Chains A and B, each alone.
Chain A
Amino acid sequence: MAAETIVRLPSDSSNMTVDEVFASLAPKPPRGGVIGGAGLLLAAIVAVYLSLATLGDLPGIVKVPFFLVGVYVAIRGIDTICKNVKGPGFDTGLWLCVTWLGLLGLAAIFADFLPFTEHVNTVKSIAEPGNARPDLFSRHPLGSNNFSLDLLGQSVYAARVSVGTALMAVTVAVVLGSIIGLAAGYFRGWLDIAIGVFTDSILSVPALLLLIAVVTVIGKPKAPFESVWKMGLTLAIVAVPTMARLARANTMVFAQREFVLAARSMGASNRRIIFREIAPNVALPVLSYSFIIIATLIVAEGSLSFLGIGLKQPNPTWGNMIAEGQVSNVLRKYPHIALVPGFVMFLTVFSFNRVGEKFRSLWDQREAKI
């Protein structure tokens, strides 16, 4: 974006040499150096530790801000260290997001081998007292819910369902949407109008209501794996038209370029032009946009299971975990039941948005007409 490239000359630039001016314009790493950053990080870890472990009995309105400030200071600390080591241009936020997504992905894939306290079988957990508060060094590091199921374990298994559903939906959307969009944008005419009317029809119904209606027809999923493909295909219904529009807009831009004309004048068939000449170019914006779509779809899946139209507890998804903590008595007494999965979900959605935004700014050619 233009804003980042605005150059401000130093006020006393008149009596500097050219080299000095350039040197003064180069961005500097934040003050404090590695040691300062490490200090910040240490202070932050102590603060987060205090808020999660020792301050156990203070009301949430003190603890939660304390925790958030701790997280903020920790990020500043990491930022200072990274910028001093890697140079001032280092995009710490982006890499933190990538790290989070990587950790979450690994945890979700290898969840079966991780030592979680009981998180799904209420029969086994029934003996324990429920609603444990978060305490990093107890058996429930992030607390437990009403049925004494471990929230850390639930959050990780929920990631399987929630992120898996979104990935399923986005894969279908990218493949189908690209084909539809390529056809509409390349052939134009009646095909384009028909596809346009159809996508407009789907997009003119409020997405959540459409999804609810579809799920009532096909039936709620009962097992995690069933949920991934069933809800994934349902979510694809709203994701395909969006992708199709994007692919169509980009196809129209590329279809007018010289290399397409060259291919056509050499006698290339429509199929060859679409798949060999245009599709590779359209793939870049579509794929980079798909990260942002994933973020939206995770929220959509969460909304459905929050409303009770999706997987039911004790099979966790982020949506039904938050719904469990939503009841006003539970929310008042044990806010962590809603806030823990909420925070995990927020970080994930934020990270996908952030990474997607980065890709989009790399590949986007001046906001193609959608």
Chain B
Amino acid sequence: MSLFRDASLGDGQLLRTIGIKILLLIPVLIIVSFGTFVLVDLVPGDPAQQVLGPNSTADEYERIRLELGLDTPLLERYWDWGTKVVVHGDLGKNLINPRVDVSDTLQRSFPINLELAFASIGVSLLLAVPAAMASAYFAGRRLDRSLSVTAFGMISVPPFLSGLILILIFALSLGWLPDSQWTRLTNNGSWTDLNLVENIKSLVLPVLTISINEIAVFLRLLRGDLIGTLQEDFVLAAKAKGMPTRHLMLREAMRPSSFSLITLAGVSVGRVIGGTVIVERIFSIPGVGKQVVEAATKSDYPIVQGGVLVLAIFYVAINMGIDILYGFLDPRIRRGR
């Protein structure tokens, strides 16, 4: 999303740049949606047959062909699907279970992804920010070095490994937390009967698994920025005035150092919303990723199309929001550096 970041952004130009960015989103979304749509045609063999398996009736076969619209040409079908999505928000029906709308399936799983993503990024920030402060303050000393090595190790653990290790320790050996079962926050969507405690219990390990990678990335980024800021003159001036360390770190150094962290945290939320397939599998969480993967193995194409499209829209929108926010937060960008 950074096509125009190098253009000089005078105050009046900011709005124009944002406008251009929004315009450029449209082709991105068209390409993404067309890409997922054309997938059905690329599958070798007859897609309808693929969905049904070997023993199926002619009736079912006709229904699937009709639902996929296989008798019309590709572009016409894409146009029909696109207008339905844009105008009615209708993503079609599940093929395997035709009574359920795709949008209903996604509506039921998407909040889980949001919950996971925000919880993980929140936890990661909560742990990474103090660690980065300590690391930057004691830069080059033993604490800093061991934190850096730890962060390096944490980046290199694949999530399916860290998830298993966490299960092994906290669920199987110690028995403190449930092993791969998901309790929804609400069962029927009403706010009166909440399974808050159970929900949080089933949230802990997945969130930790996701956080292990994110914490390390945040820590390294903020540490670098903080070290840069701590060498600036205004920090020295504050130090010369006899300000306590707490004030130096929190009031003086933190704000100018946090811009890239905020950007990265935002981008991470977008990425984690769609990027938790592995965690969803390990902990049997019925999120969008799991639905899409299961649908893909059963050739239930409308779910794959709808799921990928929704995740991509969210990712693009969040990135976009971050880009705009960044322009307002950091005056240096507005004035064109």
Contacts and interface: CB of A to CB of B under 8 A. Distances in A.
Interface in B275-300: 275, 277-278, 281-282, 289, 292-293, 296-297, 299
Given A299-B158, A369-B6, A205 B293 contact: no
B39 interface: yes
B121 to A, nearest CB: 16
Interface string B150-179: 001101111111001101110011000001
B31 A198 contact: yes
B272 to A, nearest CB: 9
Contacts of A196: 3, 24
B327 to A, nearest CB: 15
Pick the most buried of B6, B144, B161: most chain A CB atoms within 10 A of its CB.
Answer: B161
Interface in A151-196: 192-193, 196
A114 interface: no
A93 B149 CA distance: 10
Given A219-B44, A346-B156, A212 B277 contact: yes
Interface stretch (A1-9, A13-21, A259-267, A272-280): A1-9
B8 to A, nearest CB: 14
A306 interface: yes
Nearest to B164: A338
Interface in B256-313: 271, 274-275, 277-278, 281-282, 289, 292-293, 296-297, 299, 304, 307-308, 311-312
B278 A303 contact: yes
A64 B265 CA distance: 34
A353 B308 contact: no
B36 interface: yes
A213 B292 CA distance: 9
Interface string B36-55: 10010011100000000000
Interface string A288-299: 000000010001
Contact of B161 (A60, A197, A307, A322): A322
B301 to A, nearest CB: 10
Contacts of B293: 209, 212, 307, 309
B254 interface: no
Given A193-B24, A204-B32, A369-B6, A307 B152 contact: no
A205 B164 contact: no
A1 B160 contact: no
A192 B5 CA distance: 14
A109 interface: no
A335 B168 contact: yes
Interface residues of A, number: 58
Contacts of A93: 149
A96 interface: no
Interface stretch (B11-19, B73-81, B223-231, B238-246): B223-231
A350 B156 contact: yes
Contacts of B316: 200, 204
Given A197-B31, A328-B180, A369-B5, A206 B140 contact: no
Nearest to A349: B156
B2 interface: yes
Interface in A226-275: 252
A328 B32 CA distance: 37
Pick the most buried of B149, B160, B282: most chain A CB atoms within 10 A of its CB.
Answer: B160
B89 interface: no
B156 A326 contact: no
A198 B228 CA distance: 35
Interface in B16-37: 24, 27-28, 31-32, 35-36
A216 B161 CA distance: 24
A302 interface: yes
Contacts of B31: 197-198, 201
Contacts of A200: 1, 3, 24, 28, 316
| Chain A contact residues, majority secondary structure | helix
Contacts of A252: 6
Contact of A331 (B136, B157, B167, B297): B167
Contact of B155 (A204, A208, A219, A353): A353
B315 interface: yes
Contacts of A217: 39, 42-44
B311 A205 contact: yes
A308 B172 CA distance: 24
Contacts of A306: 160, 278, 281
A3 B227 CA distance: 7
A325 B43 CA distance: 32
Given A212-B293, A216-B297, A252-B6, A346 B158 contact: yes
Interface in B62-83: none
A69 interface: no
B139 interface: yes
Given A208-B275, A209-B277, A353-B156, A4 B308 contact: no
A209 B311 contact: yes
A323 B282 CA distance: 10
B307 A209 contact: yes
Contact of B158 (A197, A332, A349): A349
A219 B288 CA distance: 23
Contacts of B292: 209, 212
19 contacts: A1-B227, A2-B231, A3-B144, A4-B140, A93-B149, A192-B3, A193-B3, A193-B24, A196-B3, A197-B27, A205-B32, A208-B278, A213-B36, A217-B42, A252-B6, A306-B281, A307-B277, A342-B164, A342-B165
Given A303-B278, A309-B293, 5 more contacts: A61-B169, A206-B271, A208-B275, A350-B152, A350-B153
